[in-house]
Structure 1
Amino acid sequence: MAIIDLIIGGYNAFVSLSLAQQLSVIVIAPFVYNILWQFFYSLRKDRAPLVFYWIPWFGSAIPYGMGPYQFFEDCRQKHGDIFAFVLLGKVMTVYLGPKGHEFIFNSKLSEVSAADAYKHLTTPVFGKGVIYDCPNHRLMEQKKFAKYALTTAAFKTYVPKIREEILNYFKSPEGLQTTQKSTGVVSVMKTQPEITIFTASRSLLGEEMRRKFDTSFAQSFADLDKGFTPLNFVFSNLPLPNYRRRDEAQRRISNTFKAFIKKRRESGDIDPSRDLIDSLLTHSTYKDGVKMTDQEISNLLIGILMGGQHTSAATSAWFLLHLGERPDLQDEIFEEINKTLKEKGGSLNDLTYEDLQNMTSINNVIKETLRMHMPLHSIMRKVMQNLLVPNTNIVVPKGHYLVVSPGYTMTSERFFNKAHEFEPRRWKNVVTEKPANDESVDYGFGAVSKGVSSPYLPFGGGRHRCIGEQFAYVQLGTIMSTFVYNFKWKLNGQSVPKIDFTSMVTLPEEPAEIVWEKRETCIV
């Protein structure tokens, strides 16, 4: 009764105020509550230090959103590697550095969940029943299904297909128009997403499906890609044009895949070694006997293509920009390609998967680009039960979120000398093979390294490690070798653009343009 009387008394006191006074209370009260909540939170010794913020609910959204790596470093200098901040009403606990990688990536499924952190974002884009819109054991089996098309034997067939697509793009009216011009200016934020989706569709989905990927179909993927924004992360569905375009694109693409799947089923023309579609039609029955529906296979195809789209489009855009500032590196790669071709007595079209594997200059540029520009600046998990941080008294409560940032670690002077300088030669004498005593674990899609304490983790780690790492190197290596053999280029500006953190992917700020000119060896 006392509490009820107090509430009634407070209400009566509030309504007795003037309108101006009532508005003042409404505005001021959340700020007062916010300060008091932070004060009492700070008294707890079993919580990570909280980054102070003034604006209720928004928390540290602005400094984090504008520059996450600088925000992390500023917080680390004040609070150490472990701290918490409020992001749009959610409490995020950050653990920086290799120990943070180990803690978060190797946490048990019962302790942290990627699905609960991302499902509301990914399901509208990929569709239902796949990736995070299914139980974890289903996701692990879906990864296994996809890996049947990501073998060394498959990669060997992909290289000439990818190269042919790139050369066709160079000549096309939508591309560089090299049959009409010997020099030009292009935006890498236009060319690389298009090259990425065209080459991925040709190699993974086959020539017949690739023919459906005209400019309008590529635009559908672009509309789908716009479903990955901070606004989508907070609000998964809003009555806005970009949300409607996202949903229309999902329906169009998945319906196209379904129609193609139906055609192959009806014809019986299914060869699991031909492409990813046939591979999934052959390998898509779960261990419990349940078969993926054609809609789910279509949605999984979208998820696989979109997952690689972010990595390869962003990474190839960045290495073109960095190489535009480093003609010495372009020359080094060109000489490496020429040497290989002379030894083979062939042309660019004779460059094979094995050749790309052995080209250290190309692979080191890819490694360095991924170090400086990991596509995702933050990786999140939702905490499913109270979780004690090892060797501390800090408990992360159920319902809070964990954040790990390999991208921060890879650009930190604590772990890499001259971390903000693009220097691929740093990898020349670095041994990257797995240590002999490194443990592996099979989450259902093949053995992966259990050790994730390395400061270099561009493809993540643990059960959600990207399965497309080797395909990414094949695609990126072919893109780079084809560019360097045909062109020289420089930046259309004085320096490499800064990172645009307004997207959830670390893209270059626009304009991001290069000025290209044909080499004497150009074949387009």
Structure 2
Amino acid sequence: MSFAPHLNGTLPFKDVWSAYFADANAYFPQSNSRLALILLVNAPVIAIVLNALWQVVAPRKATDPPVIFHWLPIIGSAISYGNDPLNFFFSAREKYGDVFTFILLGRKVTVALGPKGNNFVLGGKSTVLNAEDAYTHLTTPVFGKDVVYDVPNEVFMEQKRFVKVGLSSENFRAYVGMIEDEVQEFLTHDPSFSVFQANDVNEWGEFDVQKVLQEITILTASRTLQGKEVRAGMDKSFSELYNDLDGGFTPINFLFPNLPLPSYRRRDKAHAKMSAFYVDIIKQRRAKGNHGEPDMIEALMQQTYRNGEPLKEHQIAHMMIALLMAGQHTSSASGSWTLLHLAANPEVADALYQEQLKNFSNPDGTLRSMTYEELKALPLMDAIIRETLRMHPPIHSIMRYVRDDVVVPPSLSAPSEDKTYVVPKGHYVLASPAVSQTDPRVWKEPLKWDPYRWSDPEGVAAQAFATYADEHGEKVDYGFGAVSKGTESPYQPFGAGKHRCIGEQFAYLQLGTIVATIIRNMELRIDGVPEHNYHTMITMPKTPRTIRYRRRKFD
């Protein structure tokens, strides 16, 4: 190839280079393809380098919280956060303080840690730090339209008031015996407990604690809150519907709510069928004039909004689905962790059994049924549940969407540097009660399961619970009755503020009755408590989570 034809004056100089490249393409017809291939192969590296450089040189406002350095664009810190969020938060706190931002699959998430951070996020105004915008894309396809986060906040608060009517002490008194019967029936007939059924006090069997607790919690919830028709319908087809619906309640659904995947289609079909199932129950009850059932359906059928409008049938159905899904996940997780720790600490399990013998022994040495008031008055049972919830809160991260720029309190921002951070509109903010509940700055030996820490009336645990419960302090009415905010406590197992779970008293009742019934019947053993599985929406134990058991010998 020669430059001569282009340089002898026959072509203007401006056309020389274009003519040259035309000749080059003629001699090397694949050079452009090779260049494109090289760029394509190296595109990820180029993107990573540019992303890193941008974080170093990009201008940022003095009021912006520090951003965790990340190599991968878009993905950001999603892998570190998703694998072990608590370690991620504690490590970031060492470097950045209690307030920092990280990238989560394109979202900018500003974290505020500690009790003050919890108070900032969970005690913030819902018009600025909004829960609906953060969660509706996850919850609405599963729970349904016109309930929970698919309605304005003030309507959701009214719906919580309706639910609270069904969570009455009168109903709870009826529930204890129902739950005990369900657990006893399960132990007597489920294949997982063949050794128990053989009445052999010497042989050891084993069971997967998460699988068993998932089944027990859905059976006990359906027998009590859900109603007799739901319990009667607990067959294979209902289980399949539940599993399909549950398949839409995962981290991938939170991050990508509308993927064209089979699991999403199964979720939608299951929701439609389950909604129709509840609506049919409501219609049958109204047609027959059935009233007086101690369940949530009955309570919701009697409720009206402040404007006089009654709850529609589909709203009742969707609220029942929400109660079933949310309650089953949290209770089965908490129950699993409780039994795992009791199996790993047989001396505590024995003390719990002795508490049962002390309070509920019949003259013949058998144990009688408990009452709701008696269950509430068991100090060791209460301490065991509290300690398990401290170490294993079902949800490790609680998010809100930032609708307007919001100033972070100076005590949180960077007091040593005299800075005030502002979280920009469009970010998410995140509180992690799981961090404050295992913070070595607050708790002695925070990673040790020690229910006896709750017996010291002057200890950190008792003080934290007093702040959370605040039985005698100032109450706040968000629209569903006066409750303690609890947002400044380092102990918040059921959330705090206006979105604090109103089902916590039922959870204590359900957990306490399930655990008491199991401990009455069998000894438990396990070599060690499994680690957390953070790849699920609710924090579950990793496999293996097999507990060995043996039937108790009664004198």
TM-score by length of 1: 0.92
Unaligned segments of structure 2, at least 5 residues: 1-20, 22-31, 414-419
Equivalent in 262, 279, 285 of residue 258 of structure 1: 279
Q: Does 1:179 align with 2:197?
A: yes
Q: Aligned Cα RMSD in Å? A: 2.3
Answer yes or no: is 1:81 the counterpart of 2:114: no
The structural deviation recorded for 1:323 is: 0.6
Provide the C-alpha distance between the structure 2 equivalents of 1:509 and 1:274, rounded to a whole number of angstroms: 36
User: Are residues 1:278 and 2:313 paired?
Assistant: no
3-state DSSP of counterpart to 1:128: coil
Pick one of 327, 330, 339 that aligns with 2:358.
Answer: 339
Specify the code of the residue in structure 1 equivalent to 2:302. T
Alpha-carbon displacement from aligned partner over 1:56-95 (angstroms, at most 9, x marks no partner): 0000001101100000011000011111100000010001
| Pair 195,435 (structure 1): closer, same or farther in 2 beyond 3 Å | closer
> Distance between the aligned counterparts of 2:355 and 2:506, measured in 1?
21
Does 2:516 align with 1:481?
A: yes
- 8 Å Cα contact 1:197/1:218 also seen in 2: no
Give the drift of 1:24.
5.9
Structure 1's 345 and 458: CA in aligned 2 closer, same or farther, altered over 3 A?
farther
Q: Does 1:324 align with 2:337?
A: no
Q: Which residue number in structure 2 is paired with residue 512 of structure 1?
A: 545
**Is 2:232 aligned against 1:198?**
no
Of residues 365, 385, 399, the one that matches 1:380 is 399
Aligned pairs, number: 506
Which residue of the partner structure matches residue 313 of structure 1?
332
Deviates more, 1:94-103 or 1:341-350: 341-350
Evaluate the alpha carbon distance shift between residue 380 and residue 189 of structure 1 in structure 2; reply closer, same or farther with a 3 A threshold: same
Determine the structure 1 residue equivalent to 2:11.
Answer: none
Superposition TM-score, scaled by structure 2 size:
0.87
Task: Give the 3 Å change call, closer, same or farther, for CA 274–116 of structure 1 in structure 2.
Answer: same
How many Å separate the matches in 1 of 2:144 and 2:216? 24
Distance in 2 separating the partners of 1:425 and 1:315: 18
Q: Which has the larger radius of gyration?
A: 2
Change (3 A) 1:345 1:149: farther
Aligned to 1:235: 256
Equivalent position to 2:310, from 279, 291, 309: 291
What secondary structure is seen at the aligned counterpart in 1 of 2:528? coil
Deviation of 1:197 (Å): 0.5
Q: 1:502 and 1:16, CA in 2 relative to 1: closer, same or farther beyond 3 A?
A: closer
Cα 1:41–1:495 shift into 2, 3 Å: farther
The question of whether the paired residues in 1 share the 8 Å contact of 2:485 and 2:498 is answered with no
1:124 Cα deviation from its structure 2 partner = 0.9
Q: Which residue pairs with 1:161 in the alignment? A: 178
1:352 paired to 2:352: no
Question: For residues 42 and 365 of structure 1, what CA distance do their matches in structure 2 show?
Answer: 51
* 3-state SS of 1:236 partner: coil
Instruction: Using the TM superposition, give the Cα deviation of residue 181 of structure 1 relative to its aligned residue in structure 2, in angstroms.
Output: 5.7
Which of 503, 507, 519 pairs up with 1:468?
A: 503
Corresponding position of 2:72? 55
Is the Cα contact below 8 Å between 1:353 and 1:474 reproduced in 2? yes
Q: Is 2:179–2:223's contact at 8 Å kept on the other side of the alignment? A: yes
- What displacement does 1:26 show? 4.6
Query: In 2, Cα distance between the equivalents of 1:451 and 1:24?
Result: 53
Aligned match for 1:402, one of 429, 433, 442:
429
Is residue 486–residue 492 contact of structure 2 (8 Å, CA) maintained in 1? Answer: no
Percent identity for Structure 1 against Structure 2 = 43
- Show CA shifts across 1:469-498 (max 9, x none): 00000000001110111000101xx31111
Whether the aligned pair in 1 keeps the contact of 2:360 and 2:368 (CA below 8 Å) is: no
Look up the SS of the partner of 2:243 in the other structure: helix
Equivalent residue number for residue 25 of structure 2: none
Structure 1 residues 204 and 38: CA distance shift in structure 2, 3 A? same
1:146-187: CA deviations, max 9, x gaps?
A: 111111111111000010010111112355243336342100
Residue correspondence of structure 1 range 424-439 to structure 2 within 5 A:
424-430=451-457, 431=462, 432-433=465-466, 434-435=469-470, 438-439=473-474
Cα distance in 1 for residues equivalent to 2:89 and 2:474: 30
**Secondary structure in 2 aligned to 1:123?**
helix
1:9 corresponding residue in structure 2: none
Change (3 A) 1:78 1:127: same
196-205 or 448-457, which deviates more = 448-457
1:204 and 1:440 map into 2 onto residues whose CA distance is 27
SS in 2 for 1:132: helix
Question: Using the alignment, how far apart are the partners of 2:95 and 2:59 within structure 1?
Answer: 14
Q: Which residue of 1 aligns with 2:447?
A: 420
Aligned counterparts of 2:435 and 2:255: Cα–Cα separation in 1: 23
User: What's the secondary structure of 2:166's corresponding residue?
Assistant: coil
Amino acid at match of 1:387: V
